[in-house]
């Protein structure tokens, strides 16, 4: 999502890893990222077995073959702290997610917005340290 890319520095300040997960296959995810000019957070394909991750989170529409548009905040212990299921055409305000992250990381130091940089393809590895995760 473009707004995640724009606010990525804030998510990083909360020691949070943003991940995009879709039931689409990898070439479709790549085309989507390319259409946005690239994203610098990982995009994961839940294509095969089709929708297994989405099913695990209760957002897969098995009759339709796709998932709901949803946001999950999963804390460092793997506990889901926030869920937002919304219309496919809607992008909730990131401030709702930041409220949850402020509760999880009250001492976080949010850096100033960096100078605009080109997004790179979503191939950067996820750091090994424990982080909250935005799905």
Write the CATH number for 94: 3.40.30.10
How many domains does the chain divide into? 1
pLDDT for 133 = 61
Low-confidence residues of the chain: pLDDT under 70:
117-135
Helix/strand/coil for 133: strand
Q: Is residue 23 part of a domain?
A: yes
Closest CA to 101 of 41, 11, 40, 19: 11
Q: Which domain holds residue 39?
A: 2-114+130-134
Cα gap 104→90, rounded to integer Å: 25
Q: Is residue 80 part of a domain?
A: yes
pLDDT for 90 = 87
pLDDT for 123 = 43
Q: Is residue 109 part of a domain?
A: yes
Q: Is residue 125 part of a domain?
A: no
pLDDT for 59 = 95
Total residues belonging to the chain: 135
Q: Is residue 124 part of a domain?
A: no
Q: Is residue 122 part of a domain?
A: no
Cα gap 71→102, rounded to integer Å: 16
pLDDT for 88 = 82
Q: What's the whole-model pTM score? A: 0.79
């Amino acid at each position: 999502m473009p707004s995640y890319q724009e606010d990525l520095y804030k998510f990083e300040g909360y020691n949070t890893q943003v991940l995009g997960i879709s039931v689409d296959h990898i070439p479709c995810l790549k085309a989507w990222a390319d259409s946005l000019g690239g994203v610098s957070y990982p995009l994961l394909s839940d294509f095969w077995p089709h929708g297994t991750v989405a099913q695990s989170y209760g957002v897969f529409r098995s009759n339709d073959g796709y998932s709901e548009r949803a946001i999950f905040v999963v804390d460092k212990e793997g506990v889901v702290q926030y869920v937002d299921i919304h219309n496919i055409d809607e992008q909730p305000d990131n401030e709702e997610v930041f409220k949850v992250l402020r509760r999880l990381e009250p001492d976080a130091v949010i850096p100033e917005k960096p100078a605009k940089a080109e997004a790179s393809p979503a191939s950067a590895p996820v750091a090994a340290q424990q982080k909250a995760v935005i799905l």
